[in-house]
Amino acid sequence: MQPFVVPLNGLTQGGSRFSWLADSSFFGNFEGSDILDADLKLDVHVEKSSHFIGIDCRIDGTVKVLCDRCLEELQLPVSTGFALSVKFGDAPGRAEADDREIVMLPEGETELDLSQFVYDYVCTSLPMRRVHPDGECNPETVKYLNHEETERQDSPGSPFSGLKNLLK
């Protein structure tokens, strides 16, 4: 897995930039991932001062997932990002304040792996219902789905069979 690691020890005062690419091998390392393939560019800006480490990440590109309707591959655009504030203390964890997520690291931690953040933010940026635009789904699958719906409505024991009479 290509680690998206920010070396906290080696940062100089001021700003630093990192650029990474995320592809199918990155998402393949996360169990149960719906993302089949990806072409994402990550631009990370790290600001370090004597009291603060701020990380701003921008993620842009495309991912491939399965269409919920026809189960064919569907390419979706991704444009998201996140902002982190890194703090050092006894209790590692995550919290939120204003527009930045606060990441607590143990004292002496030398690096921060952004992989989980990248995965989480990409997944939450995707729509809940992932379908092709009308007319772009696999026509054979759509034909089968429409046929099943018609059969279900036409069967005499169907709760919808009485609704047809209301239209007359």
Percent of the chain with pLDDT over 70: 82
Strand partners, 55: 46, 84
CA separation for the pair 12, 17 (Å, rounded)? 11
| pLDDT on residue 56 | 96
Q: Kindly write down the DSSP assignment for every residue of 88-119, as one continuous string.
A: EESS-EEEEETTEEEEEEETT--EEE-HHHHH
Q: Report DSSP letters for 4-56, one per residue.
A: -EEESTTPPSEEEEEEEEE-HHHHHTSTT----EEEEEEEEEEEE-SS-EEEE
89 pLDDT above the threshold of 80: no
Closest CA to 53 of 10, 91, 19: 10
More confident residue, 48 or 82: 82
Gap between the Cα atoms of 68 and 145, Å rounded: 12
In the chain, domain spans? 5-131, 138-168
Give the tens place of pLDDT for each residue, 110-136.
Answer: 888 999 999 999 999 999 999 999 888
Tokens 């701020």 map to which residue? 54
The overall average pLDDT reported for the chain is 85
pLDDT at 58: 97
pLDDT at 78 (0 to 100)? 97
34 CB-side CA count, 13 A: 20
Does the pLDDT of residue 154 top 80, yes or no? no
Q: What is the structure's pLDDT at 83?
A: 95
pLDDT band at 9 (very low <50, low <70, confident <90, very high): confident
For residue 154, how many C-alpha atoms fall within 13 Å in the half-sphere facing its CB?
6
Cα–Cα distances (Å) from 132 to 24, 34, 146, in that order, read 21, 16, 16
Predicted confidence band of residue 160 (pLDDT cuts 50, 70, 90):
low
Which tokens in the block code for residue 79? 């444009």
Q: What letter does residue 75 receive in the DSSP assignment? A: E
Indicate if the pLDDT at residue 67 is higher than 80.
yes
pLDDT (0 to 100) of residue 122: 97
pLDDT tens for each residue of 13-22: 888 999 999 9
Q: What is the structure's pLDDT at 143?
A: 81
